[in-house]
Amino acid sequence: MAKQRDNWGSRLGIILAVAGSAIGLGNFLRFPAKAASNGGGAFIIPYLIAFFFLGIPLMWIEWTLGRYGGGFGHGTAPGIFHNIWRKNRFIKYFGVIGIFGPLVIFIYYTFIESWLLGYSFFALSGKYTAITDQTVMQNFLRGYQGVQNNEFFNGPGWAYVFFLVTFVLNVGVIYYGIKGGIERLCKLAMPLLCVCGIILLIRVLTLGTPDPAKPDWNINNGFGFLWNPDFSALKSAKVWLEATGQIFFTLSLGIGVILTYASYLKKGDDVVLSGLTAASTNEMAEIILGGSIVIPAAFVFFGPVAIESIAKSGTFNLGFVTMPLVLNKLPWAQAFAFIWFFLLFLAGITSSVSLAQPAVAFLEDEFDISRRKAVAIFGAATFLLCQPGIFFLKNGVVDELDFWGGTVFLVIFGTIEVILFAWVFGMNNAWDEIHKGADMRIPRAYKFIIKYITPLFLFIILGAWFLQEWIPVIAMRNVSAADRPYVLGTRIGLLALFSGIAALVKIAWRKKENRRQCRQESARSN
Cα–Cα distance for residue pair 341/35, rounded to 1 Å: 22
Please name the residue ranges forming H helices in 392-453.
397-403, 409-419, 427-435, 445-448
19 binds ligand PFF (CB under 6 A): no
Of 20, 24, 32, 197, which lies in the binding site for ligand PFF, with binding defined by CB under 6 A?
Answer: 24
Shortest distance, position 233 Cβ to ligand PFF, whole Å: 22
Q: Please, are residues 271 and 63 in contact by the beta-carbon 8 Å criterion?
A: yes
Name which of residues 331 to 360 contact ligand PFF (CB under 6 A). 351, 354-355
Residue 17 contacts ligand PFF per CB under 6 A: no
Q: Check binding of 257 to ligand PFF (CB under 6 A).
A: yes
Q: Is the dihedral of CA 26, 200, 311, 221 positive or negative?
A: positive
The answer to whether residues 93 and 462 touch, using CB atoms and an 8 Å cutoff, is no
Q: Which listed residue (252, 395, 415, 490) binds ligand PFF by CB under 6 A?
A: 252
Stretch that binds ligand PFF, among 5-13, 62-70, 187-195, 248-256 (CB under 6 A): 248-256
Establish if 260 lies at the interface with ligand PFF (CB under 6 A).
no
Three-class secondary structure of residue 128 per DSSP:
coil
Residue type, 356: A
Q: For ligand PFF, how many residues bind (rule: CB under 6 A)?
A: 16
User: Around 443, how many Cα atoms within 13 Å sit in the side-chain half-sphere?
Assistant: 8
Q: CB nearer to ligand PFF: give 34 or 127.
A: 34
Q: Sort residue 133 into left (φ over 0), alpha (ψ -120 to 50) or beta.
A: beta
Q: How far is the CB of 357 from ligand PFF (least distance, A)?
A: 10
Looking at beta carbons only, is 31 or 128 nearer to ligand PFF? 31
Q: Which of residues 25-84 bind ligand PFF (CB under 6 A)?
A: 25-27
Under the binding rule (CB under 6 A), the answer on residue 105 touching ligand PFF is yes
Residues 167 and 389: beta-carbon distance below 8 Å: no
Q: By C-beta, is 27 or 145 nearer to ligand PFF?
A: 27
Q: Smallest gap, in angstroms, from Cβ of residue 224 to ligand PFF?
A: 26
Size (the chain), residues: 526
Q: Which residues contact 177 (CB under 8 A, 6 or more apart)?
A: 6, 371
Residue 22 touches ligand PFF, criterion: CB under 6 A: yes
Least Cβ distance, residue 28 to ligand PFF (angstroms): 8
In angstroms, the Cα distances linking 32 to 36, 71, 290, 302 are 6, 39, 6, 16
CA 506 to chain centre: 28
Residue choice 255, 289, 300, 422 for contact with ligand PFF (CB under 6 A): 255
Determine if 196 is a binding residue for ligand PFF (CB under 6 A): no
User: Which residues lie near ligand PFF (CB under 6 A)?
Assistant: 21-22, 24-27, 102, 105, 249-250, 252, 255, 257, 351, 354-355
